[in-house]
Amino acid sequence: MRPVPLTTLAHELLRQHLQPGDFAIDATVGNGHDMEFLARTVGPSGFVWAFDTQEQAIAASEYRRSQAGVNWVQLQQVSHSQMKAVIPEKYHGKLAAVMFNLGYLPGGDKSITTTATETIAALEQALMLLSATGLLTVMLYPGHPAGAAETQAVREWAQGLPAFFEVQTQQNAERGPLSAILMTIHKRPESTLDTP
């Protein structure tokens, strides 16, 4: 049996985690598939902020947003490293999920990719914006040169996080060591930290 693609698994984890009315971020909106998924999952009483640096991605996502009729989405053509400045302060510490799908725009210019420096700055902000029960998901692609360096940097960053963050990574072994990786991060419930 073919393994479940990790992008599908990320959606499944988020679908189980998110509730109608939740606030979420798509940190790399690309063609808008993840944005539409998040928007449909949180529903019209929720809200989604979505970021991408490329005009082509914002245009494709705006088209998808309008076709889907999900008006509770704000698309921003700025780096995800600006997310803390973009999201109003009253939502800081209240987000239920932040989703990163790193790499290049499918169907776009493959030389324009997410970078370790911007990604790590954004990941730091994402952890600050999430609520105590919030979930961070990151799809990493070590199979292309920029992605390999970025994957290593993100892994090192995650290893350096305080113990109250639980970090898990999954990779489909059948697809080899350069295949996509799904990293999830959430805060451990306080009680588990008190246990010797």
Ligand X SMILES: C[S@@+](CC[C@H](N)C(=O)[O-])C[C@H]1O[C@@H](n2cnc3c(N)ncnc32)[C@H](O)[C@@H]1O
Residues that bind ligand X (CB under 6 A): 28-34, 51-54, 57, 79-80, 101, 103-105, 112, 114, 118
Which tokens sit at 103? 């790499």
Instruction: From residue 170, give the alpha-carbon distance in Å to each of 92, 95, 102.
Output: 28, 24, 15
* Residue 51 near residue 129, CB atoms below 8 Å: no
CB of 129 to ligand X, least distance (A): 15
Q: Which is nearer to ligand X, 47 or 141 (CB)?
A: 141
Query: How near is the Cβ of 12 to ligand X at its closest, in Å?
Result: 15
Closest distance to ligand X from the beta carbon of 194 (Å): 38
**Nearest distance from C-beta of residue 52 to ligand X, angstroms:** 4
Name the residue nearer to ligand X (CB basis): 86 or 167: 86
DSSP codes of every residue in 33-66: HHHHHHHHHH-TTSEEEEE-S-HHHHHHHHHHHH
Give me the residue label for tokens 């009483």.
45
Which CB sits closer to ligand X, 49 or 51?
Answer: 51
Residue number with the shortest CB distance to ligand X? 30
Specify the long-range contacts of residues 108-112, CB closer than 8 Å, at least 24 apart: 108/54, 108/56, 108/57, 109/54, 110/144, 112/53, 112/54
Task: Compare residues 32 and 142 and give the one whose CB is closer to ligand X.
Answer: 32
Nearer to ligand X among residue 17 and residue 61 (C-beta): 61
Minimum CB distance to ligand X, residue 174 (Å): 22
Measured distance CA(21)–CA(157) in Å, rounded: 31
